Homo-oligomer: A and B are copies of this chain.
């Protein structure tokens, strides 16, 4: 499988545009934990994920984090090329949550094609609208959902992604996903444990009653 099989609008490019793209993109293999993009000073380019998992998050002045979206196989990360959009006025950080293979499309090449091609520009619009929707979903969660439901939803999401009920997650990393504090997450997880929904041990959270966690989310 080649780049053109992964890039959804390859067929909408003309030959010259295909050549420019093919001639400028490159592949990267990054290890789990690698910081791929950091704030607006960094014009990394668009990232097309061949396999792996990325996390985009924002950082407070005091080092707190909250995940704003996650990307999986075949997803495209647009905001790592936010330098090409004047009106993007925020800074995100992107790290690999798993070993990841990806293609990098240099921002200035993509921008050049986007400026001449309505098809590419409209596709970019849809990409941005998807990420915008992710953030609006998150906003609704933060505003209207209590933290117990958000923790339960995160544990279930992780279990689905990892295909296991034994999660290798520190309380700190869960706090960083949800924009909370470690102490708060620890207290919540201990409450879940008392209720028989999880079993805690050093560095892992085991889901022992998935239906009950699901019920908590759905309430």
A-side residues, CB < 8 A to B, are 58, 60-62, 64, 66, 68, 85-90, 114-118, 120-122, 124-133, 135-140, 142-144, 179
User: Per a CB cutoff under 8 Å, which of B85, B87, B142 touches A143?
Assistant: B142
A118-B114, A143-B142 in contact; A130/B64 too (CB < 8 A)?
no
Number of copies: 2
Bound form: Cα–Cα A117–B125 in Å: 13
The main secondary structure of chain A at its interface with chain B is helix
Across-interface contacts of A138 in B (CB, < 8 A)? 139
Task: Name the 10 nearest CB pairs between A and B, nearest first.
Answer: A121-B121, A87-B129, A90-B136, A89-B133, A60-B144, A87-B130, A118-B118, A87-B126, A85-B129, A88-B129
Bound form: Cα–Cα A66–B142 in Å: 12
10 contacts between A and B (CB under 8 A): A66-B143, A87-B126, A90-B133, A90-B137, A115-B118, A116-B118, A117-B118, A135-B135, A138-B139, A143-B179
